[in-house]
Chain A
Amino acid sequence: MKNKLILFWVIVAIVIVSIYVICTKPTKLGLDLVGGSRLVLEAQTSKTIAQITPDMMSSLQFAIENRVNKLGVSETVVQRTGDRRLVVEIPDVSDLEQAKAYLGETAELDFRRPVIKNGVEEWEATGLTGKDLSKANLSTNSQNGQWVVDLEFNGEGTKKFADLTKQLVGQPMAIFFNGEMQSAPVIREAITGGRAQISGGDSGFVYEEAKKMVDLLNAGALPVPAKIIEENTVGPTLGADSIAKSKVAGAIGLGFVMLFMALYYRAPGLIADMALIIYGLMLFALFKAIPVTLTLAGIAGFILSIGMAVDANILIFERTKEELKAGRTLFTAINSGFDRAFTSIFDSNMTTIITCAILYCCGTSIVKGFALTLALGVIVSMFSAITITKNFMHLIFGAGKLTHPALFGLRKSDIEEGYQAVETKREKAKFGILD
């Protein structure tokens, strides 16, 4: 009993922490539920690109989506509009300024060689560019500790780079990023390993600068330069009117579920309702603490996990009832109700968690949001149903014989039959009632 009381206070502490987190941390809601910022990007023609073709727009959209994903700006919508524009909608939760800085950058990396034209020294493009990279990494120079960007070339890039450095032995080779020279080291010997390093010149890179370059290089250059031409805040894509109504409807629905549980399962039903409220608080606090950006897909996962949490309680109560009918005392009936329901709760939830893990790893953003909230929900629901409900049941009912069967929605005769069964047909009572 002492352990049970300790556990009870632990649960109380968890509830208090959850409420504290809920009150202090902001809820992160997705674009579909609260809206966010809307940027319109327009592809720009340049000296080399006279006309914007639909193909270019497709690859621009792909590049922008790629960047947005690399930035970890979750739940962003990138959409083509008109002939040469992209609409990028970013939820409120993300750092808009950072996103803006990243979206417009072309991220063109190219290697140039020195040539003398009309007596003036100039840098000439070599055809080796960011396209030939396989990966960029952030690291530090082992000698002076400055931030540097390590480059790894792909197969073709390695060859090009080897050829180029062979030709340029004894001469400088310049690395340009977005048209600006970053450094121009003198080549001492041909480099065949397919690796290069950009140092920030004499002054070196600041961390943010190097980090941004690595991110941009990994996300890929934009096929066409793009400019942000419009910036607005927007309301939810699902319509503010619909969302307001759904909130009320969801609350009504949950109210009915709790009523149903209390009416059908009586006292244990009420306990389950309490456990459900605690479950909701814990899960919501978890969403805020991680933080998870909630979209409608995420809320669908949440609803499903509530269904599964209720299911765990129902499974347990049905088993407890069966055990009571089979003539067990309250304490053992509750315990074996939990034990026997456990395998089915465990297996069904494990399957859900495995599914979610796979969906989260390979899925696209809608699927990801769903998988994450569902998995979290299922994990918390196991704790809620098994630990919280059980603890409350033990504390309230204690041990002994069930004197008021109506509390469990049972008739007195049900239980008496059970007691007789124990005496007459031991086996029947031992393993449930399968006849």
Chain B
Amino acid sequence: MKLNLVKYRFLFLAISAILLLPGIVAMIYSTITYPTHTPLKVGIDYTGGTTLQYGVKESISNNKLSEVRQDLEKNGIENPYLQIINVNSQQDTDMKAILSIRTKFIAEGSSDQDKITNIMNQEFNAPELVQVSSVGPTLGSELFKNSLIALSLALLGIIAYLTMRFQFDYALAAILGLVHDTLFVCGVFSILGLFYDVQIDALFVTALLTVIGFSVHDTIVVFDRVRENLKYYSKKMTFSEIMNGSVNQTLARSINTSLTTLITLLALYFWGGVTTRDFVLAMILGIAVGTYSSIFFCSTLVDIWEDKKKSTTPVAA
């Protein structure tokens, strides 16, 4: 298999645009229409919600926990956080454990609360609603802002290092590739939020960090090959030919590396726990698109810039 990057360069840019555009539209639409004015539908980690605590007279098994979770989701209580609170033996009560259900804001005595109580009644023998209380966000705006600042600094660090080891062009292309991948993942989750009510939680930030790490890593390997080939072939071949050859040389590696990571993630997606499914999905999407961007998007960008540079520098007489 041999790819022709130069011939189809605008096709690749067009594919990137097609990949990103719907998500960007969804994010703009969401920012305008959501009450939170966020580009993605945010979960209770960001907004806060309600915790209902039910005391039960038996200890709660993992299977029971899964059943309750499924029942809740079937009845329109999305993304509930279920946590077992063990009751101290010294306390004067016949309760063995408390099941804490954390979910979106629910008014006291509302139909949603009745639904949850009904489900608990089906699953347990006479559970007792011990407490209903509102909870604040675990990931407040302050924390979120700090993370963004840290991330921006990290990006500057990447640009500095790559400019030192390669050139500024390459650094910029790598960063644009990373933005490309992050935008794609956010876009898909924005769409999922609009149509399937998928909410992002604190883990989403971690997933994005992983995608960014992978994206840069992947791009550098391609650029490294270009750098090496430039040393030996720059007099005999055009930059485009070298770029094309380098991408083809690293193609097997790019695909295999993504494949191995995707294998692990797919296993986690299909057989892993429900609570981490969206987290894993974000990483799968990001790594898949990251492979695309490092092969097609970043290299095409550098190629086009090099062409521009050549056409603008006057030929020495």
Contacts and interface: CB of A to CB of B under 8 A. Distances in A.
Contacts of A237: 81, 83
A348 B268 contact: no
A358 B156 CA distance: 10
Interface string A221-261: 00000000001111111111111111011101110110011
A305 to B, nearest CB: 9
Question: In terms of DSSP, what is the predominant structure of the interface of chain A?
Answer: helix
B126 interface: no
A12 interface: no
A119 B209 CA distance: 68
Determine the interface band of chain B, counting residues with CB < 8 A from chain A.
Answer: 35 or more
B186 to A, nearest CB: 17
B216 to A, nearest CB: 6
B272 A359 contact: no
A264 interface: yes
Interface stretch (B18-26, B134-142, B191-199, B302-310): B134-142
A296 B82 contact: no
A34 B69 CA distance: 18
A233 to B, nearest CB: 5
B225 A344 contact: yes
A350 interface: yes
A307 B257 contact: yes
Interface in B123-171: 133-139, 143, 146-147, 149-151, 153-154, 157-158, 161-162, 165
B313 interface: no
A82 B133 contact: yes
Nearest to B251: A318
A312 to B, nearest CB: 9
Interface residues of A, number: 78
Contacts of B165: 347, 350
A314 B257 contact: yes
Contact of A240 (B84, B214, B271): B84
B220 A253 contact: no
Contacts of A308: 217
Given A260-B263, A307-B257, A241 B63 contact: yes
A303 B279 CA distance: 13
Interface of B: 48, 51, 62-63, 65-66, 69, 81-88, 98, 100, 133-139, 143, 146-147, 149-151, 153-154, 157-158, 161-162, 165, 202-203, 205-207, 209-210, 212-214, 216-218, 220-221, 224-225, 227-229, 232-233, 237, 242, 245-246, 249-250, 252-253, 256-257, 259-261, 263-268, 270-276, 279, 283
5 contacts: A85-B133, A238-B275, A245-B273, A351-B220, A355-B216
